[in-house]
């Protein structure tokens, strides 16, 4: 696998994290630099870690994760999205949901990087340079996550009170997109 192919794969793998990062930017009026870096580190870190895990464990698993990775991603993103929508209707809560908390970011980072795990399995079959893939996937996702938050902040003011509903719907749509793409190509 050539470096250009690895870069293209890394960009494709980063698109879900990019979309969720936009949602993170939408979810708050003001996002701090530490919050931005936290999101980028979670998404970039998991996009780097998952291909590495897939590469070294893929041959030892008694099953093919690609058969159900899309269901895992869909369920995790659906749960987060539904929770955000539910909280938007909660009259007792004045503050918006903190999409930047560690638990939510961890679930979102895992959900958006499951396809990277499968890519790592594939890379082991193709004798790809896993270190180049790991560094490239992590770096590209880190950068696109920062850009995604900036895009979300830029357009967040247009939505005002409906941000949580829109953010939750976006996460559910991303999960559904992952599920449908895998079901169609299977």
pLDDT at 30: 84
The answer on pLDDT for 185 being more than 90 is no
**Average pLDDT, rounded, for the chain:** 81
pLDDT at 93: 47
What's the number of CA atoms in the CB half-sphere (13 Å) around residue 152?
A: 29
Q: How far is CA 87 from CA 17, 82, 168, 177, in A?
A: 22, 9, 10, 23
The domain locations on the chain are 3-68+94-161
What does the alpha-carbon distance between residue 46 and residue 49 come to, in Å, rounded to a whole number?
Answer: 5
Q: pLDDT by residue (tens digit) across 93-151?
A: 444 457 788 998 998 899 888 878 878 877 776 677 889 989 999 999 999 999 999 99
Q: pLDDT by residue (tens digit) across 3-29?
A: 888 888 888 888 888 888 988 888 787
3-class DSSP string for 80-92? HHHHHHHHHCCCC
pLDDT at 65: 61
């Amino acid at each position: 696998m050539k470096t250009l192919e690895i870069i293209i794969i890394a960009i494709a793998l980063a698109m879900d994290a990019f979309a969720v990062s936009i949602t993170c930017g939408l979810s708050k009026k003001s996002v701090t630099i530490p919050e931005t870096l936290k999101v980028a580190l979670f998404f970039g870190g998991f996009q780097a870690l998952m291909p590495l895990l897939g590469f070294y464990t893929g041959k030892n698993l008694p099953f093919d994760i690609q058969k159900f990775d899309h269901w895992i991603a869909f369920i995790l993103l659906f749960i987060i999205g539904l929770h955000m929508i539910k909280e938007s209707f909660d009259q007792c809560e004045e503050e918006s949901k903190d999409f930047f908390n560690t638990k939510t970011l961890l679930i979102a980072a895992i959900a958006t990087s499951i396809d990277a795990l499968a890519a790592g399995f594939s890379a082991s079959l193709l004798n790809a340079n896993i270190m180049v893939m790991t560094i490239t996937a992590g770096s590209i996702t880190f950068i696109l996550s920062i850009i995604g938050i900036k895009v979300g902040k830029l357009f967040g003011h247009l939505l005002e009170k409906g941000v949580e509903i829109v953010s939750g719907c976006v996460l559910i749509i991303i999960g559904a997109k992952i599920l449908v793409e895998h079901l169609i190509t299977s």
